[in-house]
A and B are shown apart, each in its own frame.
Chain A
Amino acid sequence: MATLATLPPAAPAIQREHHWQERLAQGLLVASCAALALFLFAPLFMILVKSVQDKDGAFVGLLQFQQYFETPALRQSIGNTLMVAAIVTGITVPLAFLYAYALTRSCMPWRGFFRVLALTPILAPSLLSAISFIQWFGTQGLLKGLLGGASIYGPLGIVMSSVYATFPHALMIVLTALLLADGRLYEAAESLRTPTWRKFLTITLPGAKYGLVSAAMVVFSYTVSDFGIPKVIGGNFNVLALDIFKQVIGQQNFNKGAVVSLILLAPVFVAFIVDWIMQGRLQSQFSSRAVPYAPRPSPWFDGAMLAFCTIVVLLLLAVLGMAIYTSFIKLWPYDKSFSLRHYTFGLIDAGVISSFFNSVKMAALSALFGTMFIFGTAYLLEKTTGMRGLRALIRLLAAIPMGVPGMVLGLGYILFFNHPDNPINGLYHTMTILVLSTVVHYYTSSHLTAVTALKALDNEFEAVSASLKVPFYKTFFRVTVPVCLPAILDIGRYLFVNAMVTISAVVFLYAPQTQLASVAILNLDDAGEIGAAAAMATLIVGASTLVCVVYAAVTRLLLTRTQAWRRPSAAG
């Protein structure tokens, strides 16, 4: 007990008086947390509740899970989903690695060009690739013979389309991992006369391993979660995401849908946790003093890499090109003459064009309000003080969306916001709820971008402002926002592009007057209007491309105009 006596008396800690500015910051933080709880946590929680209730709301425990596993067709979906996702991961990740390797370790020409082209699939809804593969390999397909009698409708088509859709996501992660490599390691290895293959095995691969695992997890989750591709090209091949859709939209069985949602959530959430750990290791591995690796020309290697990248890019362009081509011809494959009838007749006259403008509106609103909310919350989280428990909670909430498939989130939204006892059930079927679900769905990446940008700022800006008696919000608008503007624009672009292509969450939430372009593609495809579906997909690609071009131009202009303070001159 002697040790206890030496401790200072546990007097009540001094309570500092709070300035109204601190109260304001803390109040805003509470509001942010409440919003995340309401629009993220509550809907997900409703799924848990529904999964243990029957249709009449009575508690039935795990009975529905038992029923699910007793249905062979449904059980089969689990195997199908995991198999397809594993194959897609096995193809996409090595492909992305080799491509990233070519971009970072060879001296092949036009690397910037190859990099941009490889990212184009991000601009298109996943449905586009499915439509395109049908055009190439479907019943009327140009290259149908290449499949040797196998049908594109089914696992084959799902795998091909998913590889196309996931390739840029994997590429970006692997590229970052390879770019972080420390050139000094290679110089050290060279001075020790290490052969190339050994450098690859002992430096390149270990350096990229977290990136590779992370990419694998992202590709796996994407494939498991995506419902557009199997819907269009899956034929009778059942997967979990499609089962949710059928239970909810087809049979109006929300409880069974909740059960399937939880089963779908499991592998995605595991992948998400693994990815989270890998991302953390990837960051800590990076040393700020690392010297970038500078490849040296090597004709044979560079030539081989150029050939590989050219083939990949041609394949990617063939997918995108076929969809665009389909939209501009009369009728595949009978009348290939140029025509705008899919746009004029198929979209405008059919009244479907409004869904494109809905999408643009939804994407713009998501980008505007999403960016404001996400960056503002990240700022309050990183740069203000007090309420540590709440901060930890917000960090956790901000991380969750990445581990939640869009179908699951969308179902949660129906269950929560369509509930008759919910006072804000008026939101259901409105544009607002589409924006909210989209912002929440893509929250995590945007949040991480904001946090990274904010962490790069000097930690003492807020302390200096306080000492100069300048309110924190003034410094936020005068310093934080201008300095972080590139990251803020990046978040806006990310939200816009994803809002244009998203389908999984919103497919449950739209009303006839708020139908979105991606949903319209699905419905047009269902109705056999593949030309009009391709036209709509082309419009989405066009709008996303336009926004990306504008983003690039604005960013470049901004960097030139602010070059005086962004780029350190000789002094320093």
Chain B
Amino acid sequence: MAATTYLKLDGIRKRFGAFEALKGIALDAVAGELMVFLGPSGCGKTTLLRIIAGLETQDAGTIVQGGRDVSRQPAVRRDYGIVFQSYALFPNLTIADNVAYGLVNRREGREKIRGRVRELLALVGLPDAGGKYPSQMSGGQQQRVALARALAPAPGLLLLDEPLSALDALERVRLRGEIRALQQRLGVTTIMVTHDQEEALSMADRIVVMNQGRIEQVGTPREIYETPATPFAADFVGKVNVLPAVVGQGGTCRVGGMALSIARADLPSGTAVKLYLRPEDIALSINGTTALNTLPAKVAKIEFLGAFCMVGVALDLPDTPGLTINLPRQAVADARLAPGSMVSVSLPPAALRILG
């Protein structure tokens, strides 16, 4: 796929009174990709989406969409469809009229509009819903209709503002798969805002991790998870263990006086750093092991979470916090782990990352 830029943001700033919502955002979205803005509430992700839509005006910065500078254009003159968390379906219009809402205005023939509505309702899996009213449908169905309505005029850009947040857990998982499949089929450039990391990881081509009005990292879900660029990105996406350490000689680090091998040797000796480590990257054994970076530990608690268990262990090192380890349910049972069990934990050098 030729990676042509469809949407280009540069130097976007926005301030609400004393609160700086966006502190200079630069970002390119590739044509046909699904880009997710991920971050905690108040990070500026929704504001950025609304600026792209022309529903808010940035204080500074430019927006170029499909080669056209739309920075100063009102919403009516931009080319996008939008879906909100609240669905925002018109309650007094039927599903068919809702979907046709943007088509009627284009003075197309009635027959053509009817055909397009049928096509779209079939696309979102609601071929027979045309005569119903929004209040007669479930939340998930309403959101599918909202999607059909947004896609009806075939916009160049699809904006999704927390589209799944109002749905229950099952519906949420089902619909995120559907939206993703639909988006790939139509190849429409899409930007979605969410605070749900699982949603972001499962749907996005690329994730934009945002925090306090800035971009922390842009990357594929895998990149974000495996090689987080900042402590915030590491902590917000997935769970992470943090160990305070001091850099030693030749690719080592000292944690609580104990030397550990790390994968990089470019840091000056004596620097205080923090090591970041995913819970599932830690190996645990009860009979001792010869693996690198093995430390003695004692199981403090075991939290049963269904498919896997979260095992909290205490390290026998001064000034060192405990670790959280994710283990499959079966592994915990086989090892007969219980609070108080003495174990060894191995921290693979490649998984130990130094950030910030």
Q: Which A residues have a C-beta under 8 Å from some C-beta of B?
A: 8, 11, 13-19, 21-22, 458-461, 463-471, 474-475, 478-479, 482-483, 562, 564-569, 571-572
Contact = CB atoms under 8 A, between A and B. Distances in A.
B164 to A, nearest CB: 16
What are the 3 closest A-B residue pairs judged by CB atoms, nearest first?
A: A468-B102, A565-B133, A466-B75
B92 A467 contact: no
A386 to B, nearest CB: 10
Contacts of B159: 467
A564 B136 contact: yes
Interface in B68-90: 71-78, 80-82, 84, 86-88, 90
Contacts, number: 124
Nearest to B58: A14
A18 B136 contact: no
A8 to B, nearest CB: 6
B225 interface: no
Given A18-B74, A21-B76, A468-B153, A572 B135 contact: yes
Interface stretch (B26-34, B49-57, B241-249, B257-265): B49-57
Given A14-B59, A479-B93, A467 B53 contact: yes
Nearest to B133: A565
Contact of B135 (A460, A461, A466, A569): A569
A17 B73 contact: yes
B77 A19 contact: yes
A570 to B, nearest CB: 9
Contact of B136 (A11, A470, A474, A568): A568
A565 B135 CA distance: 6
B353 interface: no
Contacts of A8: 13, 20, 23-24, 60
Contacts of A465: 101
A467 B82 contact: yes
Given A8-B13, A17-B73, A565 B53 contact: no
Nearest to B20: A8
Contacts of B102: 467-470
Given A8-B23, A469-B102, A571 B77 contact: no
B77 A565 contact: no
B105 interface: yes
B330 interface: no
The CB with the most chain A CB atoms within 10 A, among B72, B76, B80, B101, is that of B76
A468 B113 CA distance: 14
A486 to B, nearest CB: 12
Contact of A463 (B55, B87, B93, B105): B55
A470 B106 CA distance: 9
B135 A463 contact: no
A406 to B, nearest CB: 38
B149 interface: yes
Given A469-B105, A565-B91, A464 B82 contact: yes
Contact of A566 (B58, B101, B135, B137): B135
A465 to B, nearest CB: 8
B215 interface: no
Given A471-B76, A482-B92, 6 more contacts: A467-B78, A467-B80, A468-B152, A469-B106, A479-B92, A569-B135
A467 B49 CA distance: 13
Contact of B72 (A17, A460, A567, A568): A17
B134 interface: yes
Contacts of B139: 572
A23 to B, nearest CB: 10
A479 B90 contact: yes
Interface string B113-154: 000000000000000000001111111010000000110110
Contacts of B74: 16-19, 22, 466
A470 B75 contact: no
B84 A463 contact: yes
B54 A466 contact: yes
Contacts of B77: 17, 19
B82 A463 contact: yes
Contacts of B72: 14-17
B92 A469 contact: no
Nearest to A562: B92
Contact of A571 (B13, B80, B137): B137
B150 A467 contact: yes
Contact of B71 (A14, A18, A568): A14
Contact of A460 (B57, B81, B88, B138): B88
23 contacts: A8-B24, A8-B60, A16-B54, A16-B57, A16-B74, A17-B72, A459-B86, A460-B88, A463-B55, A463-B84, A463-B88, A464-B149, A467-B102, A470-B105, A471-B76, A479-B93, A483-B92, A565-B91, A565-B92, A565-B134, A566-B135, A568-B135, A572-B139
B101 A470 contact: yes
A17 B13 CA distance: 18
A468 B92 contact: no
Given A8-B24, A21-B76, A483-B91, A468 B135 contact: no
B282 to A, nearest CB: 40
A444 to B, nearest CB: 28
A474 B59 CA distance: 30
A465 B71 CA distance: 20
Given A466-B55, A568-B136, A569-B135, A11 B82 contact: no
A194 to B, nearest CB: 36
A566 B136 CA distance: 10
Contacts of A474: 105
B288 to A, nearest CB: 53
Contacts of A18: 74
Nearest to A564: B133
The CB with the most chain B CB atoms within 10 A, among A22, A468, A474, A562, is that of A468
A4 to B, nearest CB: 14
A13 to B, nearest CB: 5
Interface in B161-184: none
B69 to A, nearest CB: 11
A263 B208 CA distance: 63
Contacts of A471: 76, 105
A14 B58 CA distance: 7
B136 A569 contact: yes
A140 to B, nearest CB: 58
Contacts of B93: 478-479
A189 to B, nearest CB: 33
Contacts of A21: 76
Given A483-B92, A571-B137, A14 B60 contact: yes
Nearest to B161: A460
Nearest to A475: B90
A571 B138 contact: yes
Contact of B60 (A11, A468, A475): A11
B76 A469 contact: yes
Contacts of B81: 467-468
B136 A571 contact: yes
Nearest to B71: A14
B294 to A, nearest CB: 46
A343 B56 CA distance: 63
A339 B231 CA distance: 92
A467 B139 CA distance: 22
B86 A14 contact: no
A463 B75 CA distance: 8
B86 A567 contact: no
Nearest to A461: B88
Given A463-B84, A474-B105, A572 B138 contact: yes
Nearest to B159: A467
Contacts of B54: 16, 466
Contacts of B71: 14
Contacts of B59: 11, 13-14
B33 to A, nearest CB: 20
A566 B152 CA distance: 25
Contacts of A16: 54, 57, 72-74
B335 to A, nearest CB: 46
A563 to B, nearest CB: 10
A569 B141 CA distance: 14
